[in-house]
Chains A and B, each alone.
Chain A
Amino acid sequence: MEEKLILFKNRKRFGIEKNIDIIFKNTTLVLSGLVAIVLLGIILVVFFQSFESFSRYGLNFLVTSEWNPVKDEYGAFTAIYGTLVTSFLSLLITIPLGVGTAIFITEDFVPKFVREIVGSFVELLAAIPSVVLGLWAIFVLEPFFRDFFVFLHKFFGWIPLLSSEPTSRNSLLAIIILVVMLLPIVTSIAKDTLNQVPKKLRNAAYGIGASRWKTIFSVILPAALSGIMAGVLLALGRAMGETMAVTMIIGNSNAFSWSLLSPGYTISSMLANQFGEADGSQVSSLFYAAFVLMILSLVVNIFAQWLVKKFSLKY
């Protein structure tokens, strides 16, 4: 009369199911190992391809600026100098701008929705492809800054960095467009770190009578310093490797000049420019340059990660 409802049935797991489980686990293991393989592969491939050039020019490659495919003489000093100078100077401008913006977003000067709009505008800027920023730099930024550069040269020409007549493509424009690209990185990481600083630190500072900016400078920024530093380093790595916008606006000239107002070169723009048409020992030299760039950005990135781990906020 009363039918027993069968909810559960005891059954053993079939052997095939166990095998599927094991196969699934090992597949994911292999897939995650693939990342490590790709990374090591990149390093090894670029290293071995640059070997020919490395054995011929050695470390002289880093300090000479001859780049002559006809005479088979290569040196990447101009490009290395350009890479370092553009990335450091752009960072120098970006840090105060980015941290200032992050403070604006995390403090309560204006209503929350305004700050959220500012925050998402800055983050959306990061989504604009760099080639589009390059196009914009060529047709909008360059005409806009032309007179300003002439002015800079006229009045500050005695500074070696501004000592040449401004050309339509130059390193200073590359620095400006790099600032636009680095701003979202520095701002969003600084914002996240500032948000993590516990409220009680701020309240304690207010409680003993510190003004708002005294609190920011003496309490909040020091507490957030490591996070901001890590963001700055990540931005530095990004600046050194940034290719398209810089290639389009920097002028791509291997003639060495201290001046930012003359055309320059970076390692990545050299790669973008020459790789397609290169052959013979030039290819190997380009790989050597790529290897230098990779080492530079690896060191910066690993240092940034170490910094995050070592000094992450312990509140």
Chain B
Amino acid sequence: MNSLYYQKKLSRNVADKFFTSLSFFCALIAVLPLIFVVTYILIKGGAQINPDLFTLEPNPPGDDLDAGGINPALIGTLVITTIASIIAIPVGVGGGIYLAEYSKGGPFSKFVRFGVNVLAGVPSIITGVFIYALIVSTKILFGSMYSGLAGGMALSILMLPTVIKTTDEGLKLVPNELRYASLGIGASMYTTILKITLPAAFRSIATGVLLGIARAAGETAPLIFTALFSYYYITGFGDLFYEMGSLAVLIYNFALEPYDAQNKLAWAASFILVISILTVNIFSRILAAFTEKTKRI
């Protein structure tokens, strides 16, 4: 009779309760870091935000109370990320087009797909080491050693796998009927790709590329010995060939300074970096969710 009812003290029910609370506990611990990190950045970084921050150069570390601003690093991050995008997006989208549209699953495309996955797993500092050996130490770029250009190249290697993968996967989601229809009325392959399939996959590719750019903007390891750091304003195109600051390297350098003023500047830079990266992430998430909804209709 009793066995028809839920018995609290049965060992299996006790075990179930125990594991359920354990998984609640895991989820709680998993959520806490983001909340703590973001809260601290909002509090500690948000307090430092003022107009000077965006317009001044950082003062060299010392026990000055006034650390200056982060204008060169802010512009530097924009410049370096732009260089990386200019290199990685055409190469990545082009490579993705080949994989999705032309390749027939032969050994070459298998090898490239494998290579993309391996490249995605290469530690980011190794790309810095690679660019250092290839460009910085050989002074191949018109005799300049550490430069914003070299930093951008290192970051582009990091972005490349993300861009190729999202292009490849985005194009594969485009229904084949569109291709048949276009080829059927006599369009050539490249017209079909450029006018039909790429536009159809644009939103999912854009989402992936945006995420790739956001990730590259926060990367530090490839920059610390390719772009190095600079305290001075970026004034023109010539500065591409000299050391260039970036928010990420500024955070790294100034977090390790013993002076309070520099530490505060590092928090302010993290505030700007994290807010922009999270904004891009949330924005692309909404974009992706929106794409999914329209597809279902």
Contact = CB atoms under 8 A, between A and B. Distances in A.
Interface of A: 13, 17-18, 20-21, 24-25, 27-29, 31-36, 38-39, 41-42, 45-46, 49, 96-101, 103-105, 107, 109, 118, 120-122, 124-125, 127-136, 138-140, 180, 183, 187, 211-214, 216, 234, 237-238, 240-244, 247-248, 268, 271-272, 275-276, 283, 286-287, 290, 293-294, 297-298, 300-302, 304-305
A248 B73 CA distance: 20
Interface in B30-77: 30-31, 33-37, 40-41, 44
Nearest to B222: A243
B46 to A, nearest CB: 14
A129 B220 contact: yes
A46 B99 CA distance: 28
Given A28-B94, A135-B266, A35 B164 contact: yes
B248 A131 contact: yes
Nearest to B93: A31
Contact of B30 (A97, A132, A216): A97
B133 A132 contact: no
A248 B112 contact: no
Contacts of B41: 132, 136
Q: Taking each of B13, B119, B161, B224, which has the highest tally of chain A beta carbons within 10 Å of its own beta carbon?
A: B224
Interface in B16-32: 16, 19-20, 22-27, 29-31
A25 B29 contact: no
Contacts of B16: 211-213
Nearest to A216: B19
Interface in B110-134: 111-112, 114-119, 121-130, 132-134
Contact of B273 (A35, A129, A301): A129
B188 interface: yes
Interface of B: 12-13, 15-16, 19-20, 22-27, 29-31, 33-37, 40-41, 44, 90-92, 94-99, 101-103, 108-109, 111-112, 114-119, 121-130, 132-134, 137, 157, 160-161, 164, 186, 188-190, 193, 214-215, 217-221, 224-225, 228, 248, 251-252, 255-256, 263, 266-267, 270, 273-274, 277-278, 281-282, 285
Contacts of B123: 237, 240-243, 268, 293-294, 297
Nearest to A301: B121
Given A103-B23, A128-B34, A45 B118 contact: no
8 contacts: A24-B193, A29-B102, A105-B27, A130-B220, A135-B270, A138-B256, A214-B12, A290-B125
Contacts of A216: 19
Contact of A31 (B91, B114, B252, B282): B91
> Chain A's interface: helix, strand, loop or mixed, by majority?
helix
A305 B30 contact: no
Given A122-B31, A124-B34, A131-B252, A275 B129 contact: yes
Contact of B37 (A13, A28, A133, A298): A133
A248 B249 CA distance: 12
A304 B102 CA distance: 27
A248 to B, nearest CB: 6
A242 to B, nearest CB: 7
Nearest to A234: B121
A212 B19 CA distance: 10
B30 A32 contact: no
B98 A131 contact: no
Contacts of B160: 35, 38
A305 B161 CA distance: 15
Contact of A272 (B12, B19, B111, B125): B125
A174 to B, nearest CB: 15
Contact of A104 (B13, B24, B95, B137): B24
Contacts of A20: 188, 190
- Cβ-closest 8 pairs across A and B: A241-B123, A129-B218, A100-B26, A31-B94, A32-B95, A301-B121, A28-B98, A24-B190
A135 B121 contact: no
A179 to B, nearest CB: 9
Given A28-B101, A32-B95, A237-B121, 6 more contacts: A25-B98, A31-B94, A100-B23, A118-B27, A128-B274, A276-B224
Interface centre among A38, A98, A240 (most CB of B within 10 A): A38
A132 B190 CA distance: 44
Given A35-B164, A135-B270, A268-B123, A127 B118 contact: no
Contacts of A298: 118, 121-122
Contact of A28 (B19, B102, B111, B218): B102
Contacts of A139: 40, 44, 255, 263
B28 to A, nearest CB: 9
Contact of B126 (A120, A129, A294): A294
Nearest to A244: B220
A125 B164 contact: no
A42 B157 CA distance: 10
B140 to A, nearest CB: 13
A15 to B, nearest CB: 12
| Residue of A24, A41, A140, A214 with most chain B CB atoms under a 10 A cut-off | A24
A31 B112 CA distance: 10
B26 A96 contact: yes
A35 B20 contact: no
A38 B108 CA distance: 15
Contacts of B193: 24
